[in-house]
Amino acid sequence: MKTKRLSLSTAQIIMLSFLCAILLGSILLSLPISSASGKSVGYIDALFTATTATCVTGLVTLPTVSTWSIFGQVVILILIQIGGLGIITVMSWLMAILNKRISLTDRLLIQDAFNLNSLSGLVKFIKKVVLGTFVVEGIGALLYMMVFIPQFGAKGIWISIFNSISAFCNAGIDIISENSLADYVNNPLINLVTCSLIILGGIGFIVWWDIARVMKTKRHLGIKCFKFLNLHTKIVLLATFILIVLGALFIFIFEYNNPKTMQDMTLFQKIQASFFQSVTTRTAGFFTIPQQDFTNASSILCVFLMFIGGSPAGTAGGIKTVTIVVLILSTIATVKNKNEAIIFNRNIDNKAIQKAVAVTAISFTIFFISTLFLSAVTDASALDVMYETASATATVGLSRNITPMLNTFGKLIIIATMYLGRIGPISLFIAFSIRKESQNIIKSPTEQISVG
């Protein structure tokens, strides 16, 4: 008698792989050896930390620098690296370097995980992704060492490595102090290196290789080589630039005379701090200014930037830059009564528009439900709760200082929100959808309705 083999979709495998990593990490972090005090921190806090590391979020209930031993910090860093690259990527890379054959199923998983159009060259692509990641993180660590070794001595090497990986993976967890990078708000090197790592991780690996392809063959054209990039790359670069610049501009305006943030800074320092805040809201989680000190206008703007997040096939979260661009273009086309949304003389596929609507709707639903439930179990203000849940939904890691004060129910709500935010709204929907065996689907009749 033949037993029916359990068949899992790509989305279900992604969900389960992240869940297994979180559970394993939580068990390791709950051990006394993981704690700096030699006593277990308790399972809920261990679970919260494992989730925020694997989901590369950065919200923490306990200060990382003083709570965890070296063993615990190593566990957290491994979870961050796995979460940033993706478990499927890490496992495929390990199989490749061990000369193990990667099956067709594994190749399909890689293709779906990175939204690639072809199965050819996938192993080479994975190797390039991992190698590129290690190179960028290595350079970032070396640059950090110029500041951290003189300040911390030999310990600065470990701090630099940890911070570089955390920044590139958009995790926002650090082992420097309990106030993130606030002590370095006026340090140009720390600001520049951190922002560069965040942006490089957030734009996505597909963009990396497309830029490399064009630069290799068209670099003699200078800025004109932009037109030879793929449409996806053009949208990502344009959207990233606009969001960072506009975000920094508005934060600069809103905080210019705020005595709690930028009032006493020089003009250059204000620009630097504004730029850093605009970049870090794109799902990084580091901060140079305590988030609770920002004006309400800046906080609301940051909620919007966090919700958008980074770009597809990268280490960042959120609904993604391409999604918001597609929604805006589709809206403009509808208002102008046009049948097609166009950018860079290219039509946007209707399936991309439908996916953008679905991603945004599901993400907003997660954000809304999380906000509603968290409001019910905490006494924090509505703005603080929205900031927290937007940060968790988009796996950002910024908080108006309410994470350490969450009760058990609040922690569980944020844990669930971070997990759902990391695996992605589309993956979540597909994972729980039932696939129809029959292809002979009878279409229902169409009837007009009023919208708007």
DSSP string, 403-448: GGG--HHHHHHHHHHHHHHHH-HHHHHHHHSPPPS-S-PPPPPP--
In this prediction, residue 451 carries a pLDDT of 64
- Asked whether residue 27 is domain-assigned, the answer is yes
- Asked whether residue 451 is domain-assigned, the answer is no
Cβ within 8 Å of residue 441, ≥6 positions away: none
Q: What is the pTM of this model?
A: 0.87
- Asked whether residue 445 is domain-assigned, the answer is no
In this prediction, residue 236 carries a pLDDT of 92
> How big is the chain, counted in residues?
452
- Asked whether residue 435 is domain-assigned, the answer is no
In this prediction, residue 3 carries a pLDDT of 46
Q: Chain centroid to CA 243: how far?
A: 15
Determine the Cα–Cα distance for residues 421 and 202; give it in Å rounded to an integer.
Answer: 15
- Burial state string for 11-37 with b = 16 or more CB within 10 A and e = fewer than 16: bebbbebbeebbeebbebbbeeebbee
pLDDT per residue as tens, the chain (452 positions): 444 445 666 667 777 888 889 999 999 999 999 999 999 999 999 999 999 999 888 899 999 999 999 999 999 999 999 888 876 676 666 666 666 666 656 666 665 556 555 556 667 777 788 888 999 999 999 999 999 999 999 999 999 999 999 999 989 899 998 889 999 999 999 999 999 999 998 888 888 888 888 888 776 666 677 788 888 899 999 999 999 999 999 999 999 999 999 999 999 999 999 999 999 998 888 999 999 999 999 999 999 999 999 888 777 888 899 999 999 999 999 898 888 888 888 888 888 888 889 889 989 999 999 999 999 999 999 999 999 999 999 999 899 999 999 999 999 999 999 999 887 765 555 555 544 444 455 666 767 666 66
Of the candidates 97, 111, 114, 40, the residue with the CA atom closest to the CA atom of residue 72:
40
In this prediction, residue 221 carries a pLDDT of 66
Domains of the chain: total: 1
- Asked whether residue 401 is domain-assigned, the answer is yes
Q: Is residue 419 a contact partner of residue 18, using CB atoms and an 8 Å limit? A: yes
C-alpha radius of gyration, the chain, whole number = 22
Cβ within 8 Å of residue 339, ≥6 positions away: 333
- Asked whether residue 219 is domain-assigned, the answer is yes
In this prediction, residue 438 carries a pLDDT of 45
- Asked whether residue 368 is domain-assigned, the answer is yes
Domain of residue 190 covers 10-429
In this prediction, residue 298 carries a pLDDT of 96
Taking the alpha carbons of 327, 328, 332, 333 in that order, is the dihedral positive or negative?
negative
- Asked whether residue 411 is domain-assigned, the answer is yes
In this prediction, residue 226 carries a pLDDT of 77
